[in-house]
Structure 1
Amino acid sequence: MKEQSVIFFDIDGTLLDHDKKLPPSTKEAIFQLKENGHLVAIATGRAPFMYEDLREELDIDTFVSYNGQYIVLNGEVLHTNPLNIDSLIKLTETALHNDHPVVFMDHEDMKANVPDHPHVKEGIESLKIKHFPTHDPYYYEGRELYQSLLFCPEGEVKQYKDNFRDFDFVRWHPLSVDVLPKGGSKAKGIEKIVEKLNIPKERIYAFGDGLNDIEMLSTVNNSVAMGNAEEKVKNVAKYITESVENNGIEHGLKLVGLL
């Protein structure tokens, strides 16, 4: 058996195709990696409760959630990095004035600060998950939140970037951006796991396709961009594989010599 490597996979557009389906070749490749003694992990912008079914299907219990803000290693919470609640309350007040809904998210659930907004409906439905945020404008009270969703069109997000310097804003949908603690990223989350496992950087791999994967792919030694990735993402990756629909994970793992 080869020395153990750790392979981090993004979910949307990487493990899952455009229809949020797991290609059979991807599932087979993941289990082959595990049989070969490697550690398979997920690195995603999603909340942990948004991909429980996928983790069960692939038997994965190590993951970087919320773009690095909630990290679990072998089923145990390793690190958390919550949002600054005072700044989030101020942002929410501004957003409410602008008719820009906000969704509050912890490791267990998500709640919207306004009921039944069409932008929230459109954005969340695009994820094709079974969870949908119910209304609770004070969900931030008495708990740590690791990410929020600000539903704000592209041309209107600058005011938030200029005025709320505690946060990073990463667009994931034409109508919405992730609101994250400043400097938080998948790359930082991966770093926490790698430090704990004491595995050399030469045996760390990452696959991704989205803008929130750029820091991860530009930091990890063996980075693979999906064929369906944006050009900005491909430009920072060491390797480029086929699209997710065209057996991209299997092809990429063979490309880097893990299969």
Structure 2
Amino acid sequence: MGKIIFIDVDGTLLDYENKLPASADIAIKEARKNGHHVYIWNIGLDGMIGGNGSYVKDKDTVVMYQLITLEQCKHIVDWCHSRNLEFYLESNNGLFTSKNFEEKGNPVIKVYCQRKGKENASEQTVCTVFSEMIYGGELYRDDCNKVSFILNSYQDHLDSIKEFPDLKPGTWGGADEIALFGDLGVKGIDKAHAIDELLKYLGASLEDTFAFGDAKVDIPMLEYCNVGVAVNSGGDEIKAMADYVTDDVDKDGIYKAFVHFGLIDDVLNLC
């Protein structure tokens, strides 16, 4: 078995317009030709991992699947509605959003993209960043991996910790008090745990692993894998702890890192 590569999607593999750079596509195809295995969050190739680590699949085999229960989901939805928090539910069947998420989310998405250094951040909307969202769907669900909600204030996150002791609260879109979103996931689950479960299933060695990410939520997998790579447009926290920082996603960062670590040859002469 070759190396095992784990790649986050938003901001790492895809840019903030959900576009896959041609160089990244070539890098992945060349790496797989060279016998390496590529696992992308929420996208199936050799397999996929979803819900921040609650769902693990290798080819056609589901290795692990841990969900927020229907009762927990109802609790979250009702709590968000009671506090006028707009939210979306992440499941393997799609992203199901609250009624006013787009209206409330558009200015927040612009700030999020500005913080990521996106050149046309002022033009970004919920539709451009989350084009796959489903409006008007059932919100009391038994297939939910994670819930994200727009923070009216950081106090919403602090209150979620007290309200949901049976779940794992977090934030994203900014560090601590400047966070834009809160989220709630399955307790005891993160990306590192998912990778550990997959490696056990594969009988693979941790020494052969690479992880690529850009956000705080990716830090556990970068810490766990043998080599952790952050993209330059990522947050300061993840770049500080990464083993290697590569270029932005839209500046051929994935391709350049693959070449740097000898996973592929420089067929494009970019390095």
- TM-score, normalised with respect to structure 1: 0.83
Q: Indicate how the Cα distance of structure 1 residues 116 and 74 shifts in structure 2: closer, same or farther if over 3 A, else same.
A: closer
Aligned to 2:247: 242
Aligned to 1:146: 145
- More displaced, 77-86 or 115-124? 115-124
Any idea what SS the aligned residue of 2:184 has?
strand
Q: CA RMSD in A?
A: 2.3
Q: Tell whether the 8 Å contact from 1:119 to 1:175 is kept in structure 2 after alignment.
A: no
Any idea what SS the aligned residue of 2:197 has?
helix
Any idea what SS the aligned residue of 1:22 has?
coil
- More displaced, 5-14 or 150-159? 150-159
Aligned to 2:163: 163
- More displaced, 15-24 or 126-135? 126-135
Per the TM alignment, residue 39 of structure 1 is displaced from its structure 2 partner at its CA by 0.7
Aligned to 1:208: 213
Per the TM alignment, residue 17 of structure 1 is displaced from its structure 2 partner at its CA by 1.9
Gapped runs of 5+ residues in structure 1? none
Map 1:125-136 onto structure 2 (within 5 A).
125=126, 128-136=129-137
Aligned to 1:90: 75
Q: Pick the aligned partner of 1:18 from 16, 32, 35.
A: 16
Map 1:192-203 onto structure 2 (within 5 A).
192-203=197-208
Q: Tell whether the 8 Å contact from 2:90 to 2:96 is kept in structure 1 after alignment.
A: yes
Q: Tell whether the 8 Å contact from 1:7 to 1:41 is kept in structure 2 after alignment.
A: yes
Aligned to 1:76: 61
Per the TM alignment, residue 66 of structure 1 is displaced from its structure 2 partner at its CA by 1.0
Distance 1:135 1:115 in 2: 10
- TM-score, normalised with respect to structure 2: 0.80
Any idea what SS the aligned residue of 2:195 has?
helix
Any idea what SS the aligned residue of 2:2 has?
coil
Instruction: Give, as a single letter, the amino acid of the residue that structure 1 aligns with 2:13.
Output: L
Distance 1:104 1:12 in 2: 17
Residues 48-70 of structure 1: per-residue CA shift (max 9 Å, x gap): 4xx5xxx5xxxx14111111111
Per the TM alignment, residue 18 of structure 1 is displaced from its structure 2 partner at its CA by 3.0
Residues 203-252 of structure 1: per-residue CA shift (max 9 Å, x gap): 01111111110111111111111111111001221112122122111111
Gapped runs of 5+ residues in structure 2? 110-124, 174-178, 265-271
Q: Tell whether the 8 Å contact from 1:207 to 1:226 is kept in structure 2 after alignment.
A: yes
Per the TM alignment, residue 11 of structure 1 is displaced from its structure 2 partner at its CA by 0.7
Per the TM alignment, residue 184 of structure 1 is displaced from its structure 2 partner at its CA by 1.4
Aligned to 1:9: 7
